[in-house]
Amino acid sequence: MNSRLQAVRGMNDLLPEAIGDWQRVEAVARGIFADHGYAEIRMPLVERSELFARSIGAATDIVEKEMYAFQDRSGDMLALRPEGTAGCVRAALQHGLLHNQQPRFWYQGPMFRYERPQKGRYRQFQQIGAECFGIPDADIDAELILLTARLWRELGLSGVTLEINTLGTPDDRQVYREQLVAYFGGHRGLLDEDSKRRLEQNPLRILDSKAPEMQALIDEAPRLLDSLGGASRAHFDRLCAILDRAAVSYEINTRLVRGLDYYTHTVFEWVGEHLGAQNALCGGGRYDGLVEQLGGKPLPATGFSIGVERLVDSLRAVGVSAASATPDCFVVSVAAPAGEALVAAEELRDAGLAVICNCDAAGFKSQLRRADRSGARVAVILGEQESATGQVGIKPLRGDGEQQTVARADLVATVKQLSKG
Ligand code: AMP
């Protein structure tokens, strides 16, 4: 016997029972982006591996361990995109979109990371993201945060908190890096294996460590916030002032460094209390060096991305669920001439109704059962007798209306009337 094939580990089917929640999230997000002047952009799922090594950073977990990289048949090294920012910058550069009047973009789509799958962490997952180019001010960082806060509000999501931090400029970071190397290097004996490796390559990432034995040491580490240059401090203070003015509450988390190398100044994360271990719902920040790193002229940029699986899980946890779509009517047909049922269904759809048409030769009772289960308000009945007399039966399925027989010509008007109620 042939064995049955399964989906790839960490890559999930999205089944019809969940799709309503996903579509609701997508629709609300799409509306909010439109209301803020963000243009949608769609990039390929596959890019050259080099794009991610140059942007995310060769010494990050994502590029080192998690990328689906492969050689294609012509020998090019390609990768499934692990995130959207690099591809968005690449596309905007390639098509000359960076310096026009429309600096705000959004996108959605699947991302791929070879991580250990667990609840809330998958190898294919969906992100909704936004990127804004050419605006150096903290105001646009704040706009992105306000936009996400609005998204949670409009979706009905509660139980999320905002954490913010600043990573300063590359110069600030260089000074800080030396402080960290001196500090952690002085306690080398207390470092776990991961942190020892990071000490050489990317000491800021030690702050990100979740290892319990590292926490006390990290708590005592120097803070970048304490040694920021004046301009960086002013950027961060302005962001905080805007959030205060807009009554968005936040916590300053000086250990928030985020996994990607390209951030500067603002970084933020929305954390969901319903999410368990994988509690980051949305991450973002400023990445002023990236455009130049990818071959463009220096250009400030800032963005975020939301994990849609986690957002849908959070919405379900707070009891917000989209109603599943039900048809207005169900066409039952028993021994009617060929095509009668489908033509009646087409006329009803032309009038704006959602219709399911029975398409097999099941008996009358079982078709009526299907009609009932479909959630339709009304069953339209085409039988041998109705067809012979130029009539149709109409049976309300909800409430207590009586079945009636009307002239075929009155079908649409009658169903419309009944399905409104
Ligand atoms: P990042 O690109 O790592 O900043 O991730 C942005 C958001 O995407 C996170 O806050 C998560 O909500 C989501 N996310 C990241 N990695 C995964 C994953 N492996 N599975 C599911 N969601 C993820």
Residues 157 and 274 in one domain: yes
Atom of ligand 1 nearest to the CA of 258: 4
Q: What's the pLDDT at 229?
A: 93
Residues 113 and 256 in one domain: yes
Residues 240 and 342 in one domain: no
The answer, yes or no, to whether residue 420 has pLDDT greater than 80, is: no
- Gap from CA of 306 to ligand 1 centroid (Å): 7
The answer, yes or no, to whether residue 236 has pLDDT greater than 70, is: yes
The answer, yes or no, to whether residue 260 has pLDDT greater than 70, is: no
Calculate mean pLDDT across residues 225-253.
96
Q: What's the pLDDT at 259?
A: 63
Calculate mean pLDDT across residues 207-224.
89
Going by alpha carbons, the residue nearest to atom 16 of ligand 1 is 121
Atom of ligand 1 nearest to the CA of 122: 20
Calculate mean pLDDT across residues 138-148.
98
Domain count, the chain: 2
Q: What's the pLDDT at 400?
A: 83
Of 256, 285, 317, the domain-final residue:
317
**Which residue from 278, 290, 304, 314 has its CB within 8 A of the most atoms of ligand 1, so it is best to mutate?**
278
Going by alpha carbons, the residue nearest to atom 10 of ligand 1 is 282
Q: What's the pLDDT at 318?
A: 94
Kindly state the helix (H) or strand (E) to which residue 179 belongs, with its residue range: helix 170-185
CA proximity to 227, closest of 218, 236, 240, 217 = 236
Q: Are 249 and 159 in contact (CB under 8 A)?
A: no
Q: Tell me which of 23 and 63 has the higher pLDDT.
A: 23
The answer, yes or no, to whether residue 152 has pLDDT greater than 70, is: yes
Q: How many CB atoms lie within 10 A of CB 133?
A: 25
Residues with Cβ within 8 Å of 194's Cβ and at least 6 positions away in sequence, in order, are 209, 211
Q: What's the pLDDT at 20?
A: 94
Distance CA 344, CA 357 (A): 9
Atom of ligand 1 nearest to the CA of 269: 10
Task: List for the chain the helix, strand, coil content (%; round to 5).
Answer: 40, 20, 35
The answer, yes or no, to whether residue 60 has pLDDT greater than 90, is: no
Does residue 6 lie in a domain region?
no
Taking every pair of C-alpha atoms in the chain, what is the biggest distance, in angstroms?
Answer: 95
Q: What's the pLDDT at 421?
A: 59
Q: What's the pLDDT at 197?
A: 87
Query: At 282, which CATH number?
Result: 3.30.930.10
3-state secondary structure at position 393: strand
User: Would you give the distance in Å from CA 138 to the centre of its chain?
Assistant: 24
Distance CA 279, CA 338 (A): 56
Q: What letter would DSSP give residue 162?
A: E
Atom of ligand 1 nearest to the CA of 306: 7
Q: What's the pLDDT at 302?
A: 97
- Gap from CA of 243 to ligand 1 centroid (Å): 24
Of 287, 317, 347, the domain-final residue:
317
Q: How many CB atoms lie within 10 A of CB 312?
A: 21
Going by alpha carbons, the residue nearest to atom 11 of ligand 1 is 307
Q: How far is CA 262 from CA 87, 92, 141, 297, 405, in A?
A: 14, 17, 15, 16, 69
- Gap from CA of 121 to ligand 1 centroid (Å): 8
The answer, yes or no, to whether residue 150 has pLDDT greater than 80, is: yes
Q: Are 43 and 79 in contact (CB under 8 A)?
A: no
**Which residue from 112, 279, 309 has its CB within 8 A of the most atoms of ligand 1, so it is best to mutate?**
309
- Gap from CA of 307 to ligand 1 centroid (Å): 5
Going by alpha carbons, the residue nearest to atom 4 of ligand 1 is 283
CA proximity to 217, closest of 251, 167, 180, 245 = 180
User: What range defines the domain where residue 391 resides?
Assistant: 329-419
Of 254, 282, 317, the domain-final residue:
317
Q: What's the pLDDT at 419?
A: 81
Ligand 1: list residues with CB < 6 Å. Answer: 83, 113, 115, 120-122, 125, 127, 259, 280-283, 305, 307, 309-310
Q: Are 206 and 214 in contact (CB under 8 A)?
A: yes
Mean pLDDT of the chain: 93
Residues 293 and 356 in one domain: no
Q: How many CB atoms lie within 10 A of CB 324?
A: 11
Residues 374 and 308 in one domain: no
Q: What's the pLDDT at 1?
A: 63
Calculate mean pLDDT across residues 17-35.
96
Among 199-213, 319-333, 380-394, which stretch is predicted with the lowest mean pLDDT?
199-213
Residues 134 and 268 in one domain: yes
- pLDDT, tens digit (0-9, with 9 covering 90-100), for 94-129: 999 998 777 999 999 999 999 999 999 999 999 999
Q: Output the 3-class SS for 357-382.
A: ECCCCCCHHHHHHHHHHCCCCEEEEE
Q: How far is CA 172 from CA 16, 56, 179, 267, in A?
A: 50, 19, 11, 15
Q: What's the pLDDT at 202?
A: 82
Distance CA 152, CA 162 (A): 12
**Which residue from 161, 268, 282, 314 has its CB within 8 A of the most atoms of ligand 1, so it is best to mutate?**
282
Distance CA 48, CA 91 (A): 12
Identity at 235, one-letter amino acid code: H
Residues 285 and 414 in one domain: no
| Confidence label for 26 from pLDDT (cuts 50, 70 and 90) | very high
Distance CA 363, CA 199 (A): 73
Does residue 211 lie in a domain region?
no
Residues with Cβ within 8 Å of 71's Cβ and at least 6 positions away in sequence, in order, are 77, 78
Residues 348 and 408 in one domain: yes
Q: Tell me which of 421 and 114 has the higher pLDDT.
A: 114
The answer, yes or no, to whether residue 404 has pLDDT greater than 80, is: yes
- Gap from CA of 402 to ligand 1 centroid (Å): 53
Calculate mean pLDDT across residues 381-399.
92
Enter the pTM of the model: 0.91
